Amino acid sequence: MASSESNSMNILPTSQPFNVKPAPRTYVDGAAISVPVRKRPSTLRRVLHGLFFILVLVLLVKWIKSTSLFSWIKGHLRREFDIHDDHWHYDVPSDTVLDGCVQGSEWTKDRYRGTKSYDLARTSFDLPLSADNLFMLSRGWLSGGSVSLVTSPEQAKDTVTVNVVASYRQEYVRSLAKACLVSRAGNQQGVGIFTPTWESGRRPENRQYTMVIFITVIFPESSDGSSAVAIKSFETDVPDTGHLVAHFLGSKITFDSISLTGSNSGIYVKALSATKGSLHTSNGAITGSFNTTTSLSLETSNAAIEIDVGLLSDSTEPNLDARTSDGKINARLRLTSSAGEGGNFSVSTITSNSPVFAIVADAPVDSALSFEATTSNGDAHVYLHPTYEGAFDVETSSRFNADLNFLPAADPSGKQRGRASWVQVQKKSHLLGSTSWSDKGSSGTVNVHTSNAAAVLDIVGS
């Protein structure tokens, strides 16, 4: 019988499923059970082992410091500040030709020091106003700073002057920077600033090893002072750099095309007029006054957009696209038509986790406006000019209110018409409908969308 039980036990599984508990062990009366006991090392032995480990570690560190390995590690960590280190390079775009550079002692050092004991060195370049594209370019980890666009009545009428100032503490850091006349195919002329990009991936952090580059672009003014100087195209591509556009630039210079691209800093525009404009940055605000006849694109992140924009329909359908994230948008819009009435306009103001507010302060009679104001976790509020006719869609999350307000104002056409409005969807958080001064209606559309906050649309004229 015992043999049978032994055979039966031999065919039992050696492991159990995770959801099945093994049966308790069966013990035989009178059987001796021995449990092995592990002796702990004595306190003295543990102390001796610890001291031995520390001694070995100290000897190992001393050995490393006495070998070339330590020198290699030390040099590897510090090589980014060594002008003679061959582990960095200048990142020059493949389509860019260097036509002559200023470097090292060729910089002109200022006699007086800048603020906070910084030294200043400068150089200057002249670009032909007739170029099909004027551009500013910078690459490298010491090339950040600012670009300013200004005008001067003393500037030569056929040239654009680019002044470059380097602010630094250490001479050898300045000697790493080179400022160059550059060109690209297609009659493109510009200035490039190049500083090292270290292959180690490390950037200078100590103030002693930093540098700031200030670029000032000086445009000429017209001879009579009453007309604007036309610039075919102007662009910047300058990482870690902010932009400043002077006040008088808007009335004295017009750009067929302008593109300002920076990062980690803002773009501040006093006044800017362009057929087509594109301003992109990150971690910095975009503010200012703009006028365009075709398109204007404004994009940043983690910062606000606060703008006053004029869109002129001159046999064109101008559009504005303003986008950010985690930053508010405040937009004042002026819509005009060279014909005095009509015109098609498109506007997008999009952000997240912040409010968006837009007011259409002026718009032609019989114009068509397509408007999108979208955010999340912040109020969305749009105020429309009395000339608006078309559909509207106001929506937010179910726990919040979507509001539609008709504010009193006379018929903007002067014909003493009455505004008619229809609401197809009327819920606490969603309003959908249309409005018009006449039976023929209009093709305009306005969408005001958010979540977890209020959505409000004000239509002037009732």
- What proportion of the chain, given as a percentage, has pLDDT over 90? 68
Burial class of residue 72, CB neighbours in 10 A (0-12, 13-18, 19+): exposed
> Does residue 301 belong to any structural domain of this protein?
yes
DSSP 81: G
* pLDDT at residue 199, as a whole number: 78
> Does residue 103 belong to any structural domain of this protein?
no
Q: Residue 55: pLDDT band by 50, 70, 90 thresholds?
A: confident
Per-residue CA distances from 114 to 167, 172, 175, 212, 419 (Å): 7, 17, 18, 12, 63
User: What does DSSP say about strands 133-139 and 188-194: parallel, antiparallel, or unpaired?
Assistant: parallel
> Does residue 246 belong to any structural domain of this protein?
no
* pLDDT at residue 453, as a whole number: 98
Residue 268 corresponds to which tokens in the numbers above? 């501040």
Identify the domain boundary among 32, 62, 81: 81
d(CA 375, CA 372): 10
DSSP 59: H
Cβ atoms of 308 and 359 within 8 Å: the answer is no
Taking only the tens place, the pLDDT of each residue in 216-232 is 999 999 988 778 999 99
Identify the domain boundary among 81, 104, 134: 81
> Does residue 457 belong to any structural domain of this protein?
yes
Q: Residue 201: pLDDT band by 50, 70, 90 thresholds?
A: low
* pLDDT at residue 112, as a whole number: 72
Cβ atoms of 319 and 293 within 8 Å: the answer is no
Question: Does the pLDDT at position 143 exceed 70?
Answer: yes
Q: Residue 39: pLDDT band by 50, 70, 90 thresholds?
A: low
> Does residue 6 belong to any structural domain of this protein?
no
Q: Residue 69: pLDDT band by 50, 70, 90 thresholds?
A: low
User: What does DSSP say about strands 380-384 and 197-198: parallel, antiparallel, or unpaired?
Assistant: unpaired
The pair phi, psi for residue 375, each rounded to 5°, is: -155, -170
Question: Does the pLDDT at position 10 exceed 60?
Answer: no
Cβ atoms of 341 and 317 within 8 Å: the answer is no
Q: What would you report as the CA-atom Rg of the chain, rounded to the nearest whole angstrom?
A: 35
Domain that residue 433 falls in? 285-462
Identify the domain boundary among 52, 81, 110: 81
Q: How many domains does one find in the chain?
A: 2
* pLDDT at residue 238, as a whole number: 98
> Does residue 215 belong to any structural domain of this protein?
no
d(CA 266, CA 241): 8
* pLDDT at residue 52, as a whole number: 76
User: What does DSSP say about strands 286-299 and 305-313: parallel, antiparallel, or unpaired?
Assistant: parallel
Per-range mean pLDDT, top range of 69-83, 203-217, 386-400: 386-400
Closest of 445, 448, 329 to residue 396, by C-alpha: 448
> Does residue 273 belong to any structural domain of this protein?
no
> Does residue 212 belong to any structural domain of this protein?
no
d(CA 236, CA 134): 9
Question: Does the pLDDT at position 384 exceed 80?
Answer: yes
Question: Does the pLDDT at position 461 exceed 60?
Answer: yes
Please provide the distance, in angstroms rounded to a whole number, between the alpha carbons at the two ends of the chain. Answer: 104
